[in-house]
Amino acid sequence: MNATLTLDRAYTIGRIDPRIYGSFIEHLGRAVYGGIYEPGHPRADSNGFRRDVIELVKALGVPVVRYPGGNFVSGFNWEDSIGPKSRRPCRLDLAWFTTETNEVGLHEFVEWCRQANTAPMYAVNLGTRGVESARDVVEYSNHRGGSYWSDLRIANGAKDPFGIKLWCLGNEMDGPWQIGHKTAVEYGRIANEAAKAMKWVDPSIEVVACGSSSSEMKTFGDWELTMLEECYDNIDYVSLHRYYSNPTGDTRSFLARSIDMDEFIKTVIAICDAVGGKKHSKKKVNLSFDEWNVWYHSNQQDKEIWKRDKWGRALPLLEDVYNFEDALLVGAILITFLRNVDRVKIACLAQLVNVIAPIMTRSGGGAWAQTIYWPLLQASKFGRGTALRAIVESPQYDCADQEGVPEFDAAAVCADDGSVTIFALNRSLSEHIHLSADLRDFAGLTQASHQILHHDDVKAVNTETNPDNVRPVSTQGGMISSGKLELDIPALSWNVIRLTA
Ligand code: AHR
């Protein structure tokens, strides 16, 4: 098969907000306890943070990490997570039927972020709590001192404010499973009032309102319209959440799911702009895709864990073991974000460690990168600068949920140093694609390097004992001559092609 790609310096989508390479740590399963935190582990530092995990997180280059939930946050009292550890209460977590010890809390997470070279994106509880606790936690975290909550932070050992810039107004409040689930009007009202109060305490913060927990919710669309009517003027972003699965093993349909993601994004943009138009507002509300991933491998195992050990601590929940095809879909979704950077400003791969995560650990043992770690690492490393409008011509196929799926998909980024990176996917199970790229006024770029992620078995996984089974390898970079690049893209592969002078 043949495909073409045309890039022109003048055709851009927009600057890439690095926060699209964000991630998520929830107090769920072994994300915190046994994940980022394991005192007594041979690689733990004096705070109990695992240094091997921090190294893997730092290499990923995640600029923001959403915390502490997730469904967890809708029953969480942030005040339980501050002050001397010995006095912090153990609470039942009704979101995940476990017991939360609060051993890791706000101060510890801020310190972990500092060490991991990232920044917290902090969610407030709009399920069982409300405006008052949302206001208080902003004052505690960001006010310089001289007030009740800020002085308590100082008394708890943090003289300088945490300076948390990004806040989520609750989590998935459209979902009946959520503690304190609300109607769109109820949620829009409380989100608006919380946002006002939080911004009165610290006008420099940005806030994310809950959109739908999935585009498959019956209320999707109506939820966004209704809640935005209530809170449009005081919020900065609307959240989107989406997880995909492949229970029938239909790889072709699975790899086409990024198109569904693109349609979801476009629909939410249209709704935001419709509400803005109706309000005669000059303001644009942007998108925070703050939960996305593949999630299904661990579903059955979780049911058994709850049967056995309901209310246990740090249960091994949502421990999906990702395979090669999952990494390909993650790559396809990253291409989708790069195509929508004019409106998608934040995205969080859910989650970061152990819980539906790119990084796995064994308690007392090693830490390793799952298959999905690699496309995120490469996009985060090379996908910074300006997203180019990549014009792709490719053969197409039809599958169960989608017609006209391009066999070859690509996005391109021009970095500030002038180099260009092409992220490309071949969805064909058996055929390589011969790519002809027209680089026009990028003719000064003469060197091409090419990294390929491929495995002959779509179900291949990485494990503690075989951590490099699925990982990118470098190959012959192809020829650039007179602004034209000719390259072979192997069947079923994720590719990172770097063009430099
Ligand atoms: O990421 C796991 C869960 O998925 C989150 O807690 C929730 O927000 C979503 O339903």
pLDDT tens digits for range 352-384: 999 999 999 999 999 999 999 999 999 999 999
Distance 241 CA to ligand 1 centre (A): 8
Q: Would residue 55 show up in a list of annotated catalytic residues for this protein? A: no
Give pLDDT tens digits for 118-128: 999 999 999 99
Q: Spot the catalytic one: 172, 230, 325, 407.
A: 172
Is pLDDT of 478 > 90? Answer: no
Pocket test for ligand 1, best of 30, 241, 353 (most atoms within 8 A of CB): 241
Q: What pLDDT, on a 0 to 100 scale, did the predictor assign at position 232? A: 98
Mean predicted confidence (pLDDT) in 172-182: 98
| For ligand 1, atom 5: residue with the closest CA | 70
Ligand 1 pocket by Cβ (under 6 Å):
26, 69-71, 171-172, 213, 291, 350-351
Per-residue model confidence (pLDDT) at position 429:
97
Architecture (CATH level 2) of domain 17-382: Alpha-Beta Barrel (3.20)
401, pLDDT greater than 90: no
Residue 19, pLDDT above cutoff 90 = yes
Q: Does 481 have pLDDT greater than 90?
A: no
- From the list 291, 319, 325, 407, the catalytic residue is 291
pLDDT number for residue 278? 97
Averaged pLDDT for residues 392-418:
96
Q: What is the 71 CA–ligand 1 centroid distance (Å)?
A: 6
Which position has the higher pLDDT, 224 or 400? 224
Superfamily in which the 3-8+388-500 domain is placed by CATH:
Golgi alpha-mannosidase II (2.60.40.1180)
User: pTM of this prediction?
Assistant: 0.97
446 pLDDT above the threshold of 90: no
d(CA 36, CA 354): 9
Domain range annotation of the chain = 3-8+388-500, 17-382
- Cα–ligand 1 centroid distance for 342 (angstroms): 26
Report how far apart, in Å, the C-alpha atoms of 7 and of each of 13, 175, 351, 393, 431 are: 12, 42, 33, 12, 24
The minimum-distance atom of ligand 1 relative to the CA of 71 is 6
Cα 196 to Cα 167: distance, rounded to the nearest angstrom: 12
Separation of CA 353 and ligand 1 centre (Å): 14
Sequence-separated (6 or more) residues with CB below 8 Å from residue 453: 324, 327, 328, 331, 374, 375, 470, 471, 472, 473, 493, 494, 495
Tell me if residue 304 is catalytic.
no
Q: How far apart are the first and last CA of the chain?
A: 29
Q: What is the pLDDT of residue 480?
A: 86
pLDDT at 405 over 90: yes
Q: 88 C-alpha to center of ligand 1: Å?
A: 25
Indicate which atom in ligand 1 lies nearest the CA of residue 70.
Answer: 6
CA-28 nearest atom, ligand 1: 6
What count of other Cβ atoms lies within 10 Å of the Cβ of residue 146?
8
Instruction: Give residue 447's pLDDT.
Output: 87
DSSP class per residue in 84-133? -GGGPPPEEETTTTEEE--SS-HHHHHHHHHHTT-EEEEEE--SS--HHH
Strands annotated E in 210-316: 237-244, 286-294
In this predicted model, what pLDDT tens digit does every residue of 49-89 receive, in sequence order? 999 999 999 999 999 999 999 999 999 999 999 999 999 99
- Does the pLDDT at position 443 exceed 80? no
**pLDDT, the chain, mean:** 97
Pocket test for ligand 1, best of 291, 315, 348 (most atoms within 8 A of CB): 291
CA–centroid distance, residue 228 to ligand 1 (Å): 22
**Whole-angstrom distance, CA of residue 365 vs CA of residue 401:** 41
> How much is the pLDDT for 319?
98
Query: Which atom number of ligand 1 is nearest to the Cα of residue 172?
Result: 8
Q: Tell me: the pLDDT tens digits for 245-272?
A: 999 999 999 999 999 999 999 999 999 9
| Mean pLDDT, range 34-58, rounded to an integer | 98
Closest C-alpha among 233, 251, 235, 239 to residue 212? 239
Q: How confident is the model at residue 440 (pLDDT cuts 50, 70, 90)?
A: confident
Looking at residue 148, its pLDDT comes to 98
Q: Where are the beta strands (DSSP E) in 355-471?
A: 359-361, 367-369, 386-388, 391-393, 396-399, 402-406, 408-414, 420-426, 433-438, 447-453
